[in-house]
Amino acid sequence: MNAFSLAGQTALVTGANTGIGQAIAVAMAQAGAQVIAAGRRDCDETLALIGDKGRGMRLDFADPMAARDVFAAERIDILVNNAGIIRRADAVDFTESDWDDVIDVNLKALFFTCQAFARAALPRGQGKIVNIASLLSFQGGIRVPSYTASKHGVAGLTRLMANEWAARGLNVNAIAPGYIETNNTEALRADPARSGAILDRIPAGRWGRPEDIGQTAVFLAAPASDYVNGAVINVDGGWLAR
């Protein structure tokens, strides 16, 4: 047996049209999984990269309960909760809508998607959940209060769900990506002062690439990680080691 193979497994990746979600979908297909690339818009680019191992699904977490019926309808072995948004403003000016929008997508939708998955997977006694957390699951950040609150929540919920479901065959873990070149960090990379300060602090000496996260997600979805429960693994070029 290849402990890193996903052959015979079906994985659903949320927010799979771009960035980290796209890289995870591609890595999982390369590891042998059938991949459902879920997005609030078509995932054509991702599906073109995956070929006949992929298909699309519309899931828009503007309704945080959007995935409620997905896992009862068909067998899905691996769930990757990747969809996420960020809003930036000084804490003193932060609006209620920037709070609610981020918490709904990053935290409420993640929890209820995990719940829907678990209701289908627990009776089978097998399943893997990979949540996408952040360095701001550990640190405070600046000008992103709802994002920081949501990602601290993702780390906590990952541990809570692992505590409840580990003995029942369901692994729940998270990845905390460092600074990765995606749409999410476009504003940071466009600001030479912030961008330079970030780069100076990364021991690996470069920003992360979406592919850096893809392989860690494969590990957390594969038999190789069967005894990993409730972990939040930072893939950050050493950022948190500083």
Distance from C-alpha of 72 to C-alpha of 114, rounded to nearest angstrom = 13
Phi, psi at 145, each rounded to 5°: -60, -40
- Contact stretch for ligand NAP (CB under 6 A) within 18-26, 89-97, 162-170, 226-234: 18-26
According to CB under 6 A, which residues from 156 to 215 bind ligand NAP? 177, 179-180, 182-185
CA torsion sign, 115 to 70 to 97 to 213? Answer: positive
Cβ partners under 8 Å of residue 156, min gap 6? none
Q: Are 54 and 27 in contact (CB under 8 A)?
A: no
Judged by CB under 6 A, does residue 12 bind ligand NAP? Answer: no
Residue closer to ligand NAP, measured from CB, 15 or 127: 15
Mark 51-90 with x for binding to ligand NAP (rule: CB under 6 A) and - for no binding: --------xxxx-------------------xxxx-----
Kindly state the number of chain residues that form the binding site for ligand NAP, as judged by CB under 6 A.
28
Judged by CB under 6 A, does residue 24 bind ligand NAP? Answer: no
Judged by CB under 6 A, does residue 139 bind ligand NAP? Answer: no
Q: Can 147 be counted among the known catalytic residues?
A: yes
Q: What is the DSSP string of 33-85?
A: -EEEEEESS--HHHHHHHGGGEEEEE--TTSTTTTTTHHHHS---EEEE----
Put residue 59 in one of left, alpha, beta given phi > 0 → left and psi -120 to 50 → alpha. Answer: beta
Q: Judged by CB under 6 A, which of 34, 46, 134, 158 binds ligand NAP?
A: 134
**Residues recognised as catalytic:** 147
What is the binding site for ligand NAP (CB under 6 A)?
A: 14-15, 17-21, 39-41, 59-62, 82-85, 105, 132, 134, 177, 179-180, 182-185
